[in-house]
Amino acid sequence: MSGEENTAVQEIDIFYERLTEETAATGYHLNPDTEFTKALITGLIENEKRYGYSSCPCRLAARNKDEDIDIICPCDYRDPDLAEHGACYCALYVSDAVLKGEKTLSSIPERRLPPEERAAKKSPSPKARIEGLAYPVWRCRVCGYLCAREVLPDTCPICKAKKERFEQFI
Ligand code: SF4
């Protein structure tokens, strides 16, 4: 194995270990098929290098972070897909029931709307802010975590999504 290949393998292993720890700490589960999971992680690392953000390895990126914000892994669709289908669209994450063998995986339909419909469904404007509220309320688009504070947290304390994944809720 060349030095470059060795570095790539190490990079994938480090990412895999970090993700395994994070998912365990936050109550999520990685697909137990390590080879499959590492193949998806390779795609995430490649996308991070190519676009500057780790967009979903199973979806076509627009190469524009604002447009792809909903498909930066973990995407906005992970949790509803886990609840409904037992896995995210790529099957990088699986539910408890799938992990225990109580549910079998089948193909997962794409939940992401086409671009025009996504634009029409943008989150409500800050006009909806409740009068008299001391702080704005922020919502993590990935896991739904809410917090009322002047500034956004750098990282979601629940799912570890970065600050850019938050939207103003109220
Ligand atoms: S969580 Fe979303 S972005 Fe990440 S691998 Fe699964 S489907 Fe793709």
What residues pair up with 55 in beta bridges, in sequence order? 72
Confidence (pLDDT) at 57: 98
Mean pLDDT per 10-residue section of the chain, whose length is 170 residues: 76 96 89 97 97 97 95 94 95 95 93 90 59 84 90 83 89
Extract the tokens encoding 83: 């609840």
CA dist., res. 76 & res. 81, Å (int): 10
Ligand 1 atom 7, closest CA: 89
Does the beta carbon of 85 sit less than 6 angstroms from any atom of ligand 1?
no
| Residue 13, H or E segment | helix 3-26
Confidence (pLDDT) at 85: 95
Confidence (pLDDT) at 119: 84
Extract the tokens encoding 66: 């604002």
How far is ligand 1, taken at its centre, from the CA of residue 2, in Å? Answer: 30
Q: Residues 81, 103: contact at Cβ < 8 Å?
A: no
Confidence (pLDDT) at 129: 57
Ligand 1 atom 2, closest CA: 75
Confidence (pLDDT) at 70: 95
Does the beta carbon of 30 sit less than 6 angstroms from any atom of ligand 1?
no
Atom of ligand 1 nearest to the CA of 93: 6
Atom of ligand 1 nearest to the CA of 77: 2
Confidence (pLDDT) at 5: 75
Nearest Cα to Cα of residue 108 among 134, 136, 84: 84
Confidence (pLDDT) at 73: 97
3-26 and 34-51 helices, crossing angle to 10°: 110
Nearest Cα to Cα of residue 73 among 51, 103, 95: 51
Contacts for 14-22: CB closer than 8 Å, 24+ residues apart: 15/41, 15/44, 15/45, 16/41, 22/160
pTM of the model: 0.82
